[in-house]
Amino acid sequence: MKKTSRFFLGIFGLILGIIWIFPFYMILTNSFKTPKGIFASVLSLPTNGTTANYGNSFKALDFMNSLGHSLLITVISVLIIVFFSSMAAYALQRNKSKLSGALLMLFVSAMLIPFQTVMIPLTANFGHVHMLNMWGLMFMYLGFDASLSIFLYQGTMGSIPIAMDESAELEGANRFQIFFKIIFPMLTPITVTVGILNIIAIWNDYLLPSLVLPQNQYTIPLQMFFFFGEYTKQWHLALAGLTLSIIPVILFYIFAQRYIIKGVTDGAVK
């Protein structure tokens, strides 16, 4: 490519990048203003900047608690999903019968059912057995997210030669030992993908937890929605709260960027 056209591409990219960043820039700068400061000028940098908004919204959001719930629910759910769906995919992939083909189709067809179709009977049923809490939620995530995870796992499992299983079997290993000691470690790249996809989906989920969790187990998105209802149009607090709530995501993105992009690509393409 010629030098000049490369230069103009760079400029064009820069402008687009600024447009993309603009919303983040706006909430960050305005989160340091007083209500008067926001009213006087939205577009300027804060003149008499204040950090009080952060302290206040930190308290109003009960931030440490909602962060804790988000972390707990996301981590345990993802561990459950990885553990059980990799096992299920192994059973389906190593069994070449009509039955396993049919079961795989069953899992895949579940992906076509939108959440709204099942949400009312689902929450009614779980309510009957007093499982409308974070533990019930984790079980529901296994049901909703196992399909895609199994699909991804069994696609990769085919490339692991069955001779691996057989030689371990000859040495006297049982099925669980074969899977967890030999097969599962070889699946690490796809485990990272499955983990990343589920972390993003569960961390950001709003509708399901809003129907399932009691208020003392609220996650960040739920607390944020509640907070907006309480403090309508108090943008100085809201913007500080929004900034707080995206910090964990940005940190995650910075540390795991390579894996995130690979995981998201695999999840969509496979």
User: Scanning residues 142 to 161, which ones bind another protein (CB under 8 A)?
Assistant: 142-144, 146-147, 150
Which residue of 32, 54, 107, 218 would you call a contact of another protein, by CB under 8 A? 107
* Subset of 168-187 contacting another protein (CB under 8 A): 174-176, 179
For residues 258, 263, 268, 270, the Cα torsion angle rounded to the nearest 10 degrees is 120
Cα 190 to chain centroid, rounded: 16
Q: Is 86 helix (H, G, I), strand (E, B) or coil?
A: helix
Between CA 182 and CA 162 the distance in angstroms is 11
Angle at 196 between CA 85 and CA 146, to 5 degrees: 25
DSSP secondary-structure letter at 180? I
Residue 43 or 163: which CB sits closer to another protein?
A: 43
Shortest separation between residue 190's beta carbon and another protein, angstroms: 16
Shortest separation between residue 5's beta carbon and another protein, angstroms: 9
Residue 164 or 261: which CB sits closer to another protein?
A: 261
Which residue of 58, 228, 231, 259 would you call a contact of another protein, by CB under 8 A? 228
Binding span for another protein by CB under 8 A among 15-23, 53-61, 71-79, 182-190: 15-23
Angle at 138 between CA 137 and CA 143, to 5 degrees: 90
Binding span for another protein by CB under 8 A among 51-59, 60-68, 180-188, 245-253: 245-253
Give Cα separations from 193 to 46, 147, 189, 239, 265 (angstroms).
41, 14, 7, 32, 9
Binding span for another protein by CB under 8 A among 47-55, 56-64, 71-79, 262-270: 262-270
Answer for the pair 177, 244: CB distance below 8 angstroms, yes or no: no
Q: How many residues are listed for the chain in this entry? A: 270
* Subset of 110-129 contacting another protein (CB under 8 A): 110, 112-122, 124-125
Which residue of 148, 168, 205, 217 would you call a contact of another protein, by CB under 8 A? 205
* Subset of 27-46 contacting another protein (CB under 8 A): 27, 30, 38, 41-43
Say whether residue 1 binds another protein (CB under 8 A).
yes
Binding span for another protein by CB under 8 A among 22-30, 51-59, 60-68, 186-194: 22-30
Answer for the pair 134, 77: CB distance below 8 angstroms, yes or no: no
DSSP secondary-structure letter at 215? G
Which residue of 71, 91, 160, 182 would you call a contact of another protein, by CB under 8 A? 91
Shortest separation between residue 76's beta carbon and another protein, angstroms: 14
Between CA 223 and CA 216 the distance in angstroms is 10
Q: Residues 46-75 vs another protein: string with x where CB under 8 A? A: ------------------------------
Answer for the pair 237, 57: CB distance below 8 angstroms, yes or no: yes
